[in-house]
Amino acid sequence: MIKIRLNGKTVEIERGKRISDQVKDRKYIAARINGELVDMATKITEDSSLELVDFSCDDGKKIYWHSSSHVMAMAVKKLFPEAKLAIGPAIDQGFYYDFDTKTPFSTDDLTRIEAEMRRIIEQDIPFERVEMEKQAAIDLFDGTSESFKVQLIEGLDDENISIYRNGDFADLCRGPHVPSTGYIRSFKLLSVAGAYWRGDVNEVMLSRIYGISFPEVDELNDFLEKVEEAKKRDHRKLGTELELFSIFEEAGAGLVYWHPKGAVLRRIIEDYWIQEHLAAGYKINITPHIARGQLWQKSGHYDFYIDNMYVMPVENEEYVLKPMNCPGHILIYKSRVRSYRELPIKYAELGTVYRKELSGTLHGLLRVRGITIDDAHIFCQPEQIDDEIVKVLELTKKFMNHFGFYDFRVELSVRDPKEKTKYMGTDEEWERAERGLVNALDRIGFSYTRMEGEAVFYGPKIDIKLVDALDRKWQAATVQFDFNLPRRFDIEYMDKDGQHKKVMVIHRAIYGSLERFIGCLIEHYAGSFPVWLAPVQVVVMPITDKENKYAESILKKCRKAGLRAELNNKSEKINYRIREVEVSKVPYMLILGQREVVDKVVSVRKHKEGNLGQMKLKDLFHLIESEQGGAN
């Protein structure tokens, strides 16, 4: 007999019993034994702490969705035996699977695949984990002409390989999985897309099927409703309709052209950033868009990111379009000797950088080649770390609340303690940096998820993801320690005893990418921005030409009051013009007829609310001022 601790209670069970023998509730899809995720069919062979996993947690969702991708692959192989399997991971919202097929899948194909998936689910086929030697796994998939699986196995260092079987179907996988196909209750295949094998344009183009699944049909219906709402909020669609930005094919993919309204929106966001950073003690700087290749060699970017960098010859030298702002800030810091009395020094820049993203990965404002990053670098002493990170988090929270985001997710990415050699920096530096991040998060009161092994090689970091009106997560702020650049550039300060000491560098961004942040704002507000953020706040609209003179005087007064106002005196009928402005989502319309001229008032219509009646212009200004007050 052995002891297991489950739900706060310790019980004795027979050694070698499966977890599923102890737990009959089908809501549980996997478990953790002493913290390690395992299948419900796993045998318990020693005293253990047992934790059950269901769909409500992130790990449970990943297991459920990854299992769903296997069910989809089973259906595809049944209907299209010649299709070759590539990869089928869980993603943030659902799953996908890539297949090599002679012709891409069609919408009709998805309907057939869904029907076959239902039959497989009804059969309730068990997921069976099988471990074998590496060569045996290669032989298995080579024998079924699954060449992509063979490539994947050949790239693994493990000598023992795990696969999962569902009857005659087998797939390479670490697991865990749900106990059987019958656990996948409600699902929908969403779309088909093309994807290069391993993201390499020189490799074969695969056919990718996206899907979603849930334990309950109500959850699926709720998700599908949000998908439809997301289509209406798509920033690419709204960006065109509201004349905010364009990406012109003839000018190049991934390069954003801001129309006047979009430029105003961007300027509002930039001006707020500058105002708040100056108030927080940051010093604004500007660095060039290109620099010698040797600078990027010294920083390490050349070795690590060369495939994502634009390189050009200039007078027999190699120059690079900057992919990062960091080296420029470091050069400014090193332009003279710095005293401990000056620290912390905080440099900030709204700097546009350029990255050679693959065309297939570009997506409106969310993934572009010209990226404006609100970079800042904090040069400080070790004992200043905790306070400076707290200030960054406080500033981040202020920014997010200002733009209407009150819900966000925080992730703390730290190194894998089992593979310390993969990371730059000493144990002391990592422990100090991680401790600084944790202390700051605790002081602010942010709950967070610890992501072990997710740190980049040069330091731990905090990632903050915004949650929008549809409960979608958007990557925004990052607070990152950097042990790499201080060493490469020998960045120091002089302490009170005249000794040169290594400076600590904290790299942080609040918006992250300005383009992505604006895309997030567009979708969060569905293009109906609050009045303080709207590119056009007021449209003045005379009913006939007789009111034009009065309309122009109202327009001048609105602009003098600091409002972003436009005149719409087109020849179309008033009802048509009202509809046109309503579609453009301008917060306020001022309708002017003969009665308004005589009474020296304006007739006010508010976006989504309709007619507010007549009022004096000063009363309108007070109304708008009260709405803008919450954003200041």
Min mean pLDDT across 137-146, 176-185, 429-438 is at 429-438
**In sequence order, what DSSP letters do the residues of 207-231 get, joined into one string?**
EEEEEEEESSHHHHHHHHHHHHHHH
Whole-number Cα distances in Å, 302 to 15, 297, 308, 491? 55, 5, 9, 20
Instruction: Give strand pairing partners of 11.
Output: 4
Alpha carbons 567 and 542: distance in angstroms, whole number: 8
Largest CA distance in the chain: 95
Alpha carbons 330 and 19: distance in angstroms, whole number: 55
pTM value? 0.84
Min mean pLDDT across 207-216, 477-486, 546-555 is at 477-486
Please, what are the domains in the chain? 2-54 (3.10.20.30), 59-230 (3.30.980.10), 274-287+325-518 (3.30.930.10), 538-629 (3.40.50.800)
Instruction: Confirm if 49 and 34 have CB atoms less than 8 A apart.
Output: yes
Beta-sheet strands, E only, within 153-308: 160-166, 169-172, 186-196, 205-214, 245-246, 257-258, 283-284, 290-292
Q: What is the pLDDT of residues 365-417, one digit of tens each?
A: 999 999 999 999 999 999 999 999 999 999 999 999 999 999 889 999 998 88
Helices and strands (DSSP H and E) totals, the chain = 19, 33
Instruction: Give strand pairing partners of 481.
Output: 506
Query: Per-residue confidence at 250, pLDDT binned at 50, 70, 90?
Result: very high
Query: Per-residue confidence at 302, pLDDT binned at 50, 70, 90?
Result: confident
DSSP secondary structure code for residue 530 in this structure: -
- For residue 578, pLDDT over 80 is answered with yes
Alpha carbons 154 and 626: distance in angstroms, whole number: 65
For residue 632, what pLDDT is reported? 53
For residue 523, what pLDDT is reported? 93
Q: H-helix or E-strand containing 432? A: helix 427-444
Q: H-helix or E-strand containing 123? A: helix 107-123
User: Average of pLDDT values for 429-445?
Assistant: 89
Q: What is the pLDDT of residues 495-552, one digit of tens each?
A: 999 999 999 999 999 999 999 999 999 999 999 999 999 999 999 999 999 999 999 9
**CB neighbourhood size of 352 (10 A):** 16
User: Average of pLDDT values for 31-44?
Assistant: 93
* CA 272 distance to own-chain centroid: 22
Query: Per-residue confidence at 479, pLDDT binned at 50, 70, 90?
Result: very high
Q: Which phi-psi region, left, alpha or beta, contains residue 66 (left: φ > 0; alpha: ψ -120 to 50)?
A: alpha
Burial 420-432 (b: 16+ CB within 10 A, else e): eeebbbeeebbeb
Alpha carbons 263 and 245: distance in angstroms, whole number: 8
If you search the block for the tokens 């979608």, which residue do you land on?
472
Q: Provide φ and ψ at 347, rounded to 5°.
A: -100, 140
Q: State which of 66-80, 218-232, 357-371 shows the largest mean pLDDT.
A: 66-80
Nearest to 483 by CA among 440, 439, 420: 420
Instruction: Confirm if 376 and 480 have CB atoms less than 8 A apart.
Output: no
Instruction: Confirm if 62 and 173 have CB atoms less than 8 A apart.
Output: no
Instruction: Confirm if 473 and 92 have CB atoms less than 8 A apart.
Output: yes
Instruction: Confirm if 341 and 498 have CB atoms less than 8 A apart.
Output: no
- For residue 14, pLDDT over 90 is answered with no
Alpha carbons 395 and 403: distance in angstroms, whole number: 13
